[in-house]
């Protein structure tokens, strides 16, 4: 059995935990000196470096150092190092870039960086888009506005349905149900026709009647057979690729209320070389025309 602890006359903190007490000993002298040195060092640091936040800025310190400035300097240095490649990228014919292996490799890598920073928020990190949300998949060969390098550059430069650029690509689908352009019966018919041409289960009687409704109201944009039209941005309806979903409920919602997806133009955000680079990157993902 352990012997009981001997009583000590040293002062304690006055607390007891299940009979355990703590002596009120001072910190080791070396610890105190380090603590004081840290206080002195922090005072010196606040004099020479940015330290105290103010209402609209912060104290800059005697040295005027800025970590943000360091980053900007590194970015500038990197841009200067790559400038010769950017110059080649803008001076080379767009469709001849692929003939230069080194330039193509640079464009793909630079374009991937631009895509991750500017495009992935909508189109996804892997460029697969978001089905049902209106963000197109860029990996397939289904293009609403064309998939050539020139087409992609135009789309990236000016965007789609935005008021910022007069040259933005533009199209607008009518809201056939909300604006009472079609009756509920006609909407049922045309929805089943779209289900039919896209190879989905449907009501054959309604689909047959819907073919005529489609011909009069939809074919001018989507094509007689629902093949779509890249000049008006009308998607194909005769396959399994959908922008806002391809279920009966999804198609009905689209016919009733339409959609008006907007893509910003990047001509004021990206340089010409960056626009070309991201176009080359997207084009080589697998579906470029």
Which tens digit of pLDDT belongs to each residue from 101-153? 999 999 999 999 999 999 999 999 999 999 888 999 999 989 999 999 999 99
Q: Which of 75, 50, 69 is nearest to 60 (CA)?
A: 50
Using a cut of 0.85, tell me whether the model's pTM lies above it. no
Q: What is the mean pLDDT of the chain?
A: 92
Note whether 207 and 198 are within 8 A (CB).
no
Name the percent of the chain lying above pLDDT 90.
Answer: 79
CA distance 251 to 271: 39
Domain boundaries, the chain: 184-257
Beta bridge partners of 17: 20
The pLDDT score that the predictor gives to residue 21 is: 84
Buried b (16+ CB within 10 A) or exposed e, 137-169: bbbbebbbbbbbbebbbbbbbbbbeeeeeeebb
CA distance 101 to 151: 22
CA distance 259 to 249: 14
- Please give the average per-residue pLDDT across 190-202, as a whole number: 97
- C-alpha angle with apex 135: 151 to 285, nearest 5 degrees? 55
Task: Please check the confidence at residue 7 and state whether its pLDDT lies above 70.
Answer: no
Yes or no: domain 184-257 corresponds to CATH 3.40.50.970 = no
- Please give the average per-residue pLDDT across 2-23, as a whole number: 74
The pLDDT score that the predictor gives to residue 132 is: 84
Task: Please check the confidence at residue 3 and state whether its pLDDT lies above 70.
Answer: no
Note whether 214 and 190 are within 8 A (CB).
yes
- pLDDT for 221-233, tens place per residue? 999 999 999 999 9
CB within 8 Å of 65: residues ≥ 6 apart: 48, 49, 50
Note whether 252 and 258 are within 8 A (CB).
no
């Amino acid at each position: 059995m352990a012997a009981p602890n001997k009583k000590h006359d040293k002062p304690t903190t006055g607390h007891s935990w299940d009979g355990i007490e703590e002596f009120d000993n001072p910190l080791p002298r070396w610890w105190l000196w380090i603590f004081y040195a840290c206080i002195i060092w922090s005072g010196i640091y606040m004099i020479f470096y940015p330290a105290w936040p103010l209402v609209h800025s912060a104290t800059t310190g005697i040295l005027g150092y800025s970590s943000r400035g360091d980053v900007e300097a590194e970015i500038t240095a990197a841009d200067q190092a790559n400038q010769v490649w950017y110059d080649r990228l803008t001076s080379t014919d767009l469709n001849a870039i692929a003939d230069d292996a080194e330039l193509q490799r640079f464009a793909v890598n630079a374009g991937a960086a631009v895509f991750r920073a500017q495009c992935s928020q909508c189109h996804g990190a892997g460029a697969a888009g978001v089905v049902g949300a209106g963000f197109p998949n860029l990996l397939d060969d289904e293009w609403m506005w064309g998939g050539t390098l020139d087409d992609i550059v135009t789309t990236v430069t000016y965007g789609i349905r935005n008021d910022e650029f007069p040259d933005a690509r533009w199209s607008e689908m009518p809201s056939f149900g909300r604006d009472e352009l079609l009756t509920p019966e006609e909407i049922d018919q045309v929805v089943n026709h779209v289900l039919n041409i896209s190879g989905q289960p449907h009501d054959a009687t309604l689909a047959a009647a819907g073919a005529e409704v489609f011909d009069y109201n939809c074919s001018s944009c989507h094509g007689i057979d629902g093949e779509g039209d890249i000049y008006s941005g009308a998607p194909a309806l005769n396959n399994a690729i959908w922008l806002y979903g391809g279920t009966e409920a999804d198609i009905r919602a689209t016919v009733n209320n339409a959609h008006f997806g907007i893509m910003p133009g990047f001509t004021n955000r990206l340089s010409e070389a960056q626009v070309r680079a991201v176009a080359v990157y997207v084009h080589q993902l697998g579906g470029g025309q």
